[in-house]
A and B are shown apart, each in its own frame.
Chain A
Amino acid sequence: MWEYTEKLKEHFFNPRNVGEIKNPDGIGEVGSLACGDALKLTFKLDENGRIKDAKFKTFGCASAIATSSVLTEMIKGKTIDEAAKVTNKDIADYLGGLPEQKMHCSVMGREALEAAIENYNSGGTKKHELEGKVVCTCFGVTEKEIERVITENDLTTVEQVTNYCKAGGGCGGCKGEIEKIIEKVQGRKIKEKLQTLPTKARKLTNIQKIQLIQQTINEQIRPALRAHGGNIELIDVEGNKVIVAFRGMCAQCKLAEYTMKDVVEAKLREFVSDALFVEEDRDSAQEPHNHRG
């Protein structure tokens, strides 16, 4: 069971400001049913430009509902500029803290607020859209959003990033990319942590090379394929030729030759050796037992 603060539980059982404001000055909608939580925030300003009323509707767990409820309380009476300064940390602090794995609820609150302000600033025309490159395709999290939670909350591990914005929490295929974003943002702070990733060695024995190829397939390639109902098997390594077989959805995919092979080759060159090239083992893919449904 989650360790929720009394304040969080109180807001969950007695949420404030539930509903939707008619003809609001700003609407912010974030999240989706597939993601497991979603929040619709509406607000109305008074004649002095202060938020007179704010209401929410939330689909999600207890902490998602409670963070939405406190968000509406926090922004009431604020000007747009003041409200824009509210961070996800402020929301979590207001509740007396959130469990680490639930920090993404506070981020969702801040995102909804931003979306609503953006909507207001555009005169009610602009809706929340994903900006920039999507890194985590499972939860639709962009590079920009990941950079932002890292900066604002001083995050140094992939696990923390997942807790704060869900990125990397689905198939896990983007974890390597998140690691690089952390490195880019935090620089030296995380130098020693990076040692755990497979690093390219100058000279490998054949056995070391095969092991590193297997490890790279296990950790960097298979999780993403699995998420889409596929799989990959390492068949053999002959010199610099890596023979693999694609299974399930990947094996039946007509584009397999062009896309999957290239992706695998790129990963293996990145983590093992630039000299490697990949070949697909067609024979084994024909055997019926190799097809996953």
Chain B
Amino acid sequence: MKTIYFDNNATTKVAEEVFREIEPYFCQLYANPSSMHTFGGQIGIKIRNAREKIAALLACEPSEIIFTAGGTESDNTAIMGTLAAAPNKRKIITTRVEHPAVLTVCRDLENHGYAVVELPVDKQGQLDLKQLENEIDDDTALVTIMYANNETGVVFPIEKIAELATGKSVVFHTDAVQAIGKTPLNLSKSSIDLLSLSGHKLHAPKGIGALYVKKGTRLSPFMLGGHQEAGRRAGTENVPGIIGLGKACELAAKNIEEENQRVKSLRDKLENALLEKCPGSRLNGDKENRLPNTTNISFEYIEGEAILLMLDKYGICASSGSACTSGSLEPSHVLRAMGVPFTAAHGSIRFSLSRYNTEEEVDYTIEKMPEIVNKLRELSPFVSK
């Protein structure tokens, strides 16, 4: 059975070009880039090239990029490093819909005497910028707000938010893990101070990420040890990961148009057809301000895990905000923050596409989904027949 992969916000396929590029760095070019010999020195040059490619995608200086082990480490570093550099400030502003890599860190800091403000979102999943502005005060050390939501794809007006924060001399961090390669960025002209990205969300391998640190931003190192990354992140470089991330960013720069046209039109086709063919379905999140690849649809009165298992039988991979899929007992914190009723939150399905998806895959899913919904509705005590 063919696998139809619509779970690209969870992770992506490593691009063949990326895989070919990193292959020599395991058994042949395995030296430590910090070594004094030529064997190691040549690796250092490759890392520099990779850093330049990432800087090119983000339109920033190569020296503003720090390599990390992924999005979670980038987020942790940004938050902890900023607070450590401003010990006299005790307030953090974030949102209720952040990824756990940010939200859990903030909530833990609350237990250590920090005041954390979690901004609410409206039904569309959008913030009230007036409220954000009111919250920023002299005691605020950091504003950390995601670029695009991993569950709904909703994109925040991040430039405006960055200006609000930095206009009041508060450091601004954004978790842009889902946005990189899907939204064009120009950090040289932006007010963003810190930005997290993750390799495996844009067709690079897992275990590599980066943190953009705008020149002049005060940030204490989070990982201590060796002198790597100019003393800002210790630990021997993940050479294949870095090379792979460089290549993936180069490809992303080339494919960003396709992402916003072909992938978007596939997503729209899937979304429109499912909403039309499945009665009692609704779209979650701001339809206009959204990533081009993501759709989050709720199917009322049925449960997400059951839908996923039925899809799985046809080789279709998606994900759900239902309680049962996470091992927790409550549905997605993002959908709850948006006020999605329980009747719909438990039955939410996220399809996230990539440039490797085809129209046939979309058509096949459009054909199978109504069957699945009907079958489960026949079992549901909340649907009278």
**Chain A residues in the interface with B (C-beta under 8 A):** 2, 9, 12-13, 15, 18, 29, 33-34, 36-40, 57-62, 64-65, 101, 138-139, 162, 166, 169-170, 214, 218, 222, 231, 233-234, 288-290, 292-293
Contact = CB atoms under 8 A, between A and B. Distances in A.
B306 A36 contact: no
Nearest to A59: B380
Could you tell me the dominant secondary structure of chain A's interface residues?
mixed
Interface stretch (B15-23, B116-124, B148-156): B116-124
B134 A169 contact: no
Given A36-B303, A37-B303, A166-B329, A58 B322 contact: no
8 contacts: A2-B305, A36-B324, A58-B381, A59-B380, A60-B303, A61-B303, A138-B330, A292-B118
B328 A169 contact: yes
A214 B117 contact: no
A36 B381 contact: no
Contacts of B247: none
Interface of B: 91, 110-111, 113, 115, 117-120, 128, 131, 134-135, 137, 139, 301-306, 309-310, 313, 322-325, 327-331, 342-343, 346, 378-382
Contacts, number: 95
B118 A64 contact: no
A227 B248 CA distance: 41
Contact of A65 (B110, B119, B379): B379
A233 B115 contact: yes
Contacts of B118: 292
Contact of A62 (B120, B306, B382): B306
B134 A288 contact: yes
Given A65-B306, A293-B131, A33 B301 contact: yes
B382 A60 contact: no
A58 B254 CA distance: 49
A15 B303 contact: no
A111 to B, nearest CB: 14
Contacts of A231: 110
Contact of A289 (B117, B306, B324, B331): B117
A170 B382 CA distance: 23
B305 A61 contact: yes
Nearest to A166: B329
Given A57-B379, A214-B111, A290-B115, 12 more contacts: A12-B309, A34-B342, A59-B382, A60-B324, A61-B306, A61-B322, A61-B325, A65-B306, A65-B379, A139-B329, A170-B330, A289-B135
A29 B382 CA distance: 11
Nearest to A12: B309
A289 B309 contact: no
A162 B329 contact: yes
A36 B322 contact: yes
A38 B329 contact: no
B303 A59 contact: yes
Contact of A59 (B91, B119, B381): B381
B122 to A, nearest CB: 10
A194 B322 CA distance: 33
Contacts of B110: 222, 231
B306 A60 contact: yes
B382 A38 contact: yes
Nearest to B328: A169
Given A33-B343, A162-B329, A288-B134, A58 B305 contact: no
Nearest to B342: A34
A222 B111 CA distance: 9
Contact of B329 (A12, A65, A169, A289): A169
Given A36-B322, A59-B382, A289-B135, A101 B306 contact: no
A3 B117 CA distance: 39
A231 B118 CA distance: 11
B81 to A, nearest CB: 23
A231 B328 CA distance: 22
Given A36-B324, A166-B329, A58 B379 contact: yes
Nearest to A288: B134
A62 B111 contact: no
A38 B327 contact: no
A35 B205 CA distance: 38
Nearest to B344: A33
B324 A18 contact: no
Contact of B381 (A12, A29, A214): A29
B131 to A, nearest CB: 7
B313 A13 contact: yes
A61 B379 contact: no
Nearest to A167: B329
B119 A18 contact: no
Given A18-B379, A58-B381, A65-B379, A33 B346 contact: yes
Contacts of B305: 2, 61-62
The 10 closest A-B pairs by CB, nearest first: A169-B329, A61-B324, A61-B305, A57-B381, A40-B381, A293-B120, A34-B342, A218-B111, A59-B380, A36-B323
A126 B222 CA distance: 62
Contacts of B301: 33, 59
B303 A292 contact: no
A169 B309 contact: no
A288 B134 CA distance: 8
Contacts of B117: 289, 292
A15 B135 contact: no
Contacts of A29: 381
A166 B115 CA distance: 31
B329 A36 contact: yes
Contacts of B119: 293
A77 to B, nearest CB: 23
Nearest to B313: A13
